[in-house]
Amino acid sequence: MPRVVAVAPGSPADRAGVEPGDEIFSLDGELPRDIIEYQYLADREELAIEVRRGGLELTLAVSREGGEPLGMEVDAALFDQVRTCDNHCEFCFIHQLPKGLRKSLYVRDDDYRLSFLYGNFTTLTRFTEADLERVVTEGLSPLFVSVHATDPAVRARMLRNQRGATSLRWLRALLDAGIEVHGQVVVCPGVNDGTVLEATLAGALDEYPELASLACVPLGVSRFNREGGMRPHTPAEVDGVVDLVEEWQEIFLACLGRRLVYAADEYYLLADRPFPDLRTYGAVAQHDNGVGMARAFEAAFNGDDVPEDMGPAGPSGFFRSLEGAPASGYRAPRAPGTVALLPRAGAGVTVLSGEYGARVLAPLVDAAMPGSDIEVVPVPNEYFGGNVAVSGLMTGTDIGAVLGGLPEGRRYLLPDSCLSGGVFLDGTRLADLPRPVEVVPANGASLRRALMGAPAPVGVA
């Protein structure tokens, strides 16, 4: 059952007597399955909330006036059970995780609701007719679908699931119903690159031209990988993917009036090529998938005007407008508190970032603040190893190893993308680091403010 974790003072929920810790077992006699149904059921002027408190069951009458927010937050996005993945993909990064990390990291979800709420990718192998009816009826859009290959045999082999050969029929049904869908292809060298990737892009044009976007992202391989067939791209393979994507962008542009397919920023870093212009990314809807992230960050850092329909988009917009968004549970806030650490007079600044992030940040800082005592220090990912170099997978162990060799008396800035509830992937916490750090939201505007001496971090230790 959903548990109340916060109640706004003076809100309708507060006036009705709702308290943190209450378990909700019905709204007007119905138990919502997830935060989506919760929002529908709670959006009423008069509402009877049945709660369980200390072994007692209470019915609380809520009355709202003039569109007041209900004023309570619950602890999770799903109240029944996460629909887990029944595929056995050899390229799955969760299979490459070591033991001892946070339990939630080992959950392989394939739940369309989490696709809508958080932008998680679903393969649709567990999708049903009832799911389609709900998605269409409630307008759960956009959704994010792992395509990987449009050839049924290749897709089934990659997912190690025979339903992989047939489940894209649900993609066709979603598009027919007008649902916005963003797709991705995890490009595995020797498996679905080269001619297979070209066939996939041709298949997207022929069979799924209504796709809002299709991202090609490189395979991530950690040192814990046990799949002999999975390996990082060679330089020639990287160039081949970028060339193919750019060639097909022109084809899509000519046929559909938009580019549709995009290569992740990581490909341009690996190929040592400049990122495309921000406007070529459209709405940058796959920003969180690493597509157009560098250019969007650059624009925000430089204070450039960006059209309203451009920038990080997707399902996070749902939670920005949803007063009942979970405050903990499946996706906790990145870092606790809103404490700002004021800069010490004359203190230099060190920005810590993953190796890929450092390659993006260093030129921006040098161009914007030449001659300043600001440095960007990359944090090698020794914990995961392999080709893992993104900032979001930095661990406290690796950050601590780098910080321990840096001098005291400087301000150290850290992106919040590597944290969940103030905890790193390896279970270490901000307080475990050998130097105090300021945690800054991972966007260009926040970093610029912090570097200019007006930090707006989301936490500090």
Alpha-carbon span 189 to 185, nearest angstrom: 12
Q: What is the pLDDT, as a whole number, of residue 306?
A: 64
CATH number of 94-320: 3.20.20
Superfamily holding 4-74: PDZ domain (2.30.42.10)
CA distances from residue 176 to 67, 130, 169, 253 in whole angstroms, order as listed: 35, 16, 11, 21
What is the C-alpha to C-alpha distance for residues 386 and 318, in angstroms, rounded to an integer?
35
Instruction: Give the integer Cα–Cα distance in Å for 77 and 114.
Output: 8
Cis omega before residue 142 (within 30°)?
yes
Quote the CA–CA distance of 448 and 452 in Å, as a whole number: 6
CA–CA separation, 267 and 137 (whole Å): 38
Nearest Cα neighbor of 215 from 182, 256, 179, 242 is: 182
Phi, psi (rounded to 5 degrees) for 237 = -70, -35
**Structure confidence at residue 332 (pLDDT):** 54
Q: What is the pLDDT of residue 343?
A: 47
> What's CA 386's distance to the chain center, in Å?
22
User: What does the chain come to in residues?
Assistant: 461
| pLDDT for 320 | 38
Find the helix packing angle between 194-207 and 235-256, rounded to 10°: 20
Q: Rounded to the nearest 5°, which phi and psi values hold at 128?
A: -130, 175
In tens digits, the chain (461 residues) has pLDDT values of 889 988 999 999 999 999 999 999 899 999 899 999 998 888 888 999 999 999 899 999 999 887 788 998 888 888 888 888 999 999 999 889 888 787 777 888 899 999 998 888 999 999 999 999 999 999 999 999 999 999 999 999 999 999 999 999 999 999 999 999 999 999 999 999 999 999 999 999 999 999 999 999 999 999 999 998 999 999 999 999 999 999 999 999 999 999 999 999 999 999 999 999 999 998 888 988 899 999 999 999 998 866 555 544 433 434 433 444 455 554 555 655 433 444 444 579 999 999 999 999 999 999 998 888 999 999 999 999 999 999 999 999 999 999 999 999 899 999 998 988 788 989 899 999 999 999 999 889 999 999 987 544 444 44
Encode pLDDT of 21-75 as tens digits: 999 989 999 989 999 999 888 888 899 999 999 989 999 999 988 778 899 888 8
Helices (H), 160-193: 168-176
Task: Output b/e per residue, 156-175; b: 16+ Cβ within 10 A.
Answer: bbbbebebbbebbebbebbb
Question: Across the strands, what pairs with 375?
Answer: 350
Give the pLDDT confidence score for residue 460 in this predicted structure: 42
Contact partners, residue 121, CB within 8 Å, separation at least 6: 115, 144, 145, 146, 184
Q: What are the boundaries of each domain within the chain?
A: 4-74, 94-320, 349-460
Instruction: Give the per-residue pLDDT at 22.
Output: 95
Ranges of H-type helices in 314-354: 316-320
**Over pLDDT 70: what percentage of the chain?**
89
